[in-house]
Amino acid sequence: MIGLLDIDSKYPNVALMKLKAYYGDQARMITPLEAWSCDKVYISSIFNFSYKPNLPAEHTIYGGTGYDIKAKLPSEIEQCQPDYSIYPLAEVAMQRYSTGCIRKCPFCVVYEKEGGITSSNPMNIPDNSKWIYLLDNNFFASPNWLESIQHLIAYKKPVSFEGIDVRILNEEHCSWLAKVKNRKQFHIAWDNPKDNLVEKIRTMTKYINPSRIGCYVLIGYWSTPDEDLYRVEKLRELKIDPFVMPFDKNDAYQKKFARWVNHKAIWKTIKWENYKK
């Protein structure tokens, strides 16, 4: 028997679903205790801080960024279409049109793990899925983005984007993005305070209502408190909700600033100079 073990995925794990497709009835999802009775075990973990169970080392294959950011499936397995039968209650379908990224952000493992932008063959989407999670790390950096977004729109399902790089968006990108039925919000990021993204965001809001846009804001890595405050207040002015991501969650200032911004009832009623007192 081939055991498949998903440690911490919030969504259906594409690698494990491809393994299920490749091995067929030989493979099934297991618990850590069942691993000892398997002929081979594939275990996947996304986060390095997740609990890692003790498994039989002689026939366990580890994958995912939580174990090894360089680990890859063999090509004959990678080319398989995902088998969703191991996630029978899943309402979401996973899709990907490209891997990698054009950026080499020092706090991100994507470029080290996947390299530069490479086009991927799209995956099958189950008919009974209710929405699509798009896994592309930098969707509009792919040279095939137009063909990909047309393919995505044709599903007529809500979509959640993993990566929209606002720094490269232009009018054409935004006009097509506005045609996508998005799930909750489109998410962009303003990680580097040295990037002036105001005009790029204004271009985006010409086509997409600001209420449909959320913006991640990294703090505590290469920014000062003044630069943190400038970015979230500028986003407030643009009517876009910021979501602060502390680089060091144990730092008192970063924890407090994130709580002020991310609890919208507080952020909308109390100024930072009053809250921090």
The per-residue pLDDT for range 5-34, each reduced to its tens digit, is 999 999 999 999 999 999 999 999 999 999
Mean pLDDT of the chain: 94
How confident is the model at residue 57, as a pLDDT?
81
Looking up tokens 């390095």 gives 48
Per DSSP, the residues of 148-189 read: HHHHHHHT-S-EEES---GGG--HHHHHHHTTS-BSS-EEEE
**CA dist., res. 27 & res. 261, Å (int):** 45
As a whole-number percent, the residues of the chain with pLDDT over 90 amount to 84
pLDDT in tens, 70-109: 888 999 999 999 999 999 999 999 999 999 999 999 988 8
**Is it the case that residue 277 has pLDDT exceeding 80?**
no
What is the reported pTM?
A: 0.91
**CA dist., res. 117 & res. 122, Å (int):** 15
How confident is the model at residue 70, as a pLDDT?
84
**CA dist., res. 252 & res. 13, Å (int):** 35
**CA dist., res. 160 & res. 184, Å (int):** 8
Phi/psi region, residue 173 (left: phi>0; alpha: psi -120 to 50; beta: rest), is: alpha
Please give the helix or strand (H or E) that residue 113 lies within, else none.
helix 110-114
First-to-final CA distance of the chain:
60
Residues 168-188: what's their mean pLDDT? 94
**CA dist., res. 90 & res. 81, Å (int):** 16
**Is it the case that residue 184 has pLDDT exceeding 90?**
no
**CA dist., res. 86 & res. 204, Å (int):** 38
Residues 34-51: what's their mean pLDDT? 91
Residues 195-203: what's their mean pLDDT? 96
How confident is the model at residue 47, as a pLDDT?
85
**Is it the case that residue 202 has pLDDT exceeding 90?**
yes
User: DSSP character for 34?
Assistant: G
Inter-residue contact 3 to 60 (CB < 8 Å): no
